[in-house]
Amino acid sequence: MKKLHKWLSLSAVSSLVFFLAACTSPAPEETDSATEDKLQVVTTFYPMYDFTKQIVQDSADVSILVPSGTDTHGFEPSAKDVAQIQEADVFIYNSEEMETWVPSILESIDTTDVVIVNASEGIELLEGSHSDEEGHDHDEEGHSHEVDPHIWLDPVLAQEEVSTIKEGLAEADPENEAVYTENAEAFQAELQQLNEEYAAAFENAENRTFVTQHAAFAYLAERYDLHQVAISGLSTDAEPSPSELTEMATFIKDQDVNYIYFGKTTSSAISETLANETNTQLAVLDPIEGITQADQEAGVDYLQAMRNNLEALKLSIY
C-alpha cells in the first residue's frame, strides 16, 4: 500500500499521456493492480502474528520478525529487520516491556507513514514480583523485565490486544475496516470460548499451585485463581543461584509437587536438574512466544497451544 504513495507523482505525469492516447486508441482494459497492493504488516513474535492474521485473513500481507522456535527474549533485530519495519504500513508489537528494543528502533526510523500498534496499550501490567512467588532476586543480564509482559497468555486480555490491533489496522486501511471488525469479533468469540474452558477446568480444583521454570504465567494464574511458583525469573536467560535451587527443591518435596513445567523454545536444563533431584516428572507449558515450524505445519496455532497448556496444567491441578 505504501508503494502507491511513492509513485503518485510519476502516475500524475503519465496520466496525461494516457488521456491523449485515448482520443485515438481503444480504451485499455481496466486492471486491479492497485487493489492487489495489500496492506503490508510487520509483527514482532508469534502471538502478535497470529492475532493479526486472524483479523486480516487474506486482506493483508503479514510477516513476523522473530523466527519460528526462537527464544523471543534474546532476539535483537538486524538491519534488514529495521528496514522491513520502515517499509511497512503497520508495525505491531506486544509491549516495550517485552520487545525492549522497540523504542530505540522507532527513534531511528521515519515512522510518518507507518501506523505503530502497541497491542498492550491500556492494559495494566503486573509487577515482575507477582510472577515469582518465591521472591527470588535473580540477576538478569541483558534482557530483563521490571513488569510482566506476558499478557497474551490470559485469553481475556488477549481479546483486548485483538481490539487494539484491529483499530490500528483499520486506521491504516479504512476501506477494509468492516472486514477487520468482523474477523476480530469472530476471533474474540473463540478466545472467550477458550476463557470459559479454562474457568470451568479450574473452578473446583483442590490444588491450585504449579511450578514452572519460566515465570511467564502470572496473568493466566491470576485470571483463574492459580498459584505460579517460578524456578527462575521473567527472562529466560535468568539462572537461579545454588541456594535458590536448594530452596526450590525443598518446596517441591514439601508440597508434593508432581510436575515441573518448561517451555518448548528454551533450555530445560534447570528443570531437568530439579526433576532428577526431587523425583518429579517434566511437562511442557508453552509461553507461546515462538511456535516451532514443525508445530505450525502440524496445525498448532495460538488457540491449540493454549488448549495444550490447559491439558498440561490439569496434570498438576488434579
> pLDDT (tens digit, 9 = 90+) per residue, 253-272?
999 999 999 988 778 889 99
Q: Is the pLDDT of residue 130 over 60?
A: no
Q: Is the pLDDT of residue 25 over 70?
A: no
Q: Is the pLDDT of residue 6 over 60?
A: no
Question: pLDDT tens for residues 89-106?
Answer: 999 999 999 999 999 999
Residue 126 located in a structural domain? yes
Last residue of a domain, one of 171, 191, 211: 191
Span 131-135, mean pLDDT?
41
Residues 95 and 232 in one domain: no
H or E segment and range at residue 304: helix 302-317
Torsion of CA 49, 53, 54, 55, to 10 degrees: 110
Residues 71 and 169 in one domain: yes
Residues 187 and 218 in one domain: no
Output the domain CATH number for residue 298.
3.40.50.1980
pLDDT for the residue 237: 63
H or E segment and range at residue 92: strand 90-93
pLDDT for the residue 236: 61
**Closest alpha carbon to 276 in 253, 304, 306:** 253
Residues 82 and 208 in one domain: no
Residues 160 and 223 in one domain: no
Residue 132 located in a structural domain? yes
Q: Is the pLDDT of residue 132 over 80?
A: no
Residues 15 and 48 in one domain: yes
Q: pTM, whole model, 2 decimals?
A: 0.84
Residue 37 — pLDDT band, cuts 50, 70, 90?
confident
Residue 30 located in a structural domain? no
- Overall domain count for the chain: 2
pLDDT for the residue 107: 96
Q: Which residue has the cell 495444550?
A: 308
Residues 187 and 71 in one domain: yes
Q: Which amino acid is at 102?
A: V
Last residue of a domain, one of 191, 217, 251: 191
Residue 235 located in a structural domain? yes
Q: What is each CA distance from 272 to 126, 220, 234, 269, 302, in whole angstroms?
A: 28, 24, 19, 5, 26
Residues 147 and 292 in one domain: no
Residue 31 located in a structural domain? no
pLDDT for the residue 198: 98
- Cross-strand partners of 164: none
Residues 177 and 246 in one domain: no
Domain that holds residue 261: 203-317
Mean pLDDT for the chain? 85
Residue 71 — pLDDT band, cuts 50, 70, 90?
confident
Residues 16 and 140 in one domain: yes
Q: Is the pLDDT of residue 192 over 90?
A: yes
Residues 243 and 145 in one domain: no
pLDDT for the residue 235: 63
- Cross-strand partners of 190: none
**Which of 56-65, 134-143, 227-236 is predicted most confidently?**
56-65
Residues 173 and 310 in one domain: no
Residue 28 located in a structural domain? no
Last residue of a domain, one of 162, 191, 220: 191
Residue 197 located in a structural domain? no
Residue 81 located in a structural domain? yes
Q: Is the pLDDT of residue 174 over 70?
A: yes
Residue 86's CB: how many other CB atoms inside 10 A?
17
Residue 68 — pLDDT band, cuts 50, 70, 90?
confident
pLDDT for the residue 31: 39
